[in-house]
Amino acid sequence: MPSMAWWTQQDLAAVLIRLTQIMRGWANYFKHAVAKHVFERLDAFVWWRLIRMLRELAGSPTPDATGPSTSPHV
């Protein structure tokens, strides 16, 4: 998986379009299989990666992995 620095150099619209293309391809490939659990995990993974990307683009602080959030709004 590429580092977040690579993602933040991409145009947000281009990233979202490419993610949509990839996820539709996966859905078409696995449409005959029971993959609900896999798609739920994939959805959660993509959601949090996008949140992380948007936070980095906005320059807002992200929560520390070992402690409480560093955001003053929490």
Asked whether residue 49 is domain-assigned, the answer is yes
Residue pointed to by tokens 């539709």: 24
3-class secondary structure, 68: coil
For residue 21, the model assigns a pLDDT of 92
Domain-embedded: residue 25: yes
Domain annotation covers residue 18: yes
Q: How many CB atoms lie within 10 A of CB 1?
A: 7
**With the CA atoms of 44, 47, 48 and 51 taken in that order, what torsion angle do they form, in degrees rounded to the nearest 10?**
-170
pTM: 0.52
Residue 68 lies in a domain: no
The confidence score (pLDDT) of residue 63 equals: 59
Q: Which domain holds residue 37?
A: 8-58
| Overall domain count for the chain | 1
User: Is 12 within a domain?
Assistant: yes
Residue type, 71: S
Residue 65 is assigned to a structural domain of this protein: no
Is residue 22 one of the residues assigned to a domain?
yes
Low-confidence spans in the chain with pLDDT less than 50: 1, 66-68, 72-74
Residue 72 lies in a domain: no
- What is the structure's pLDDT at 6? 54
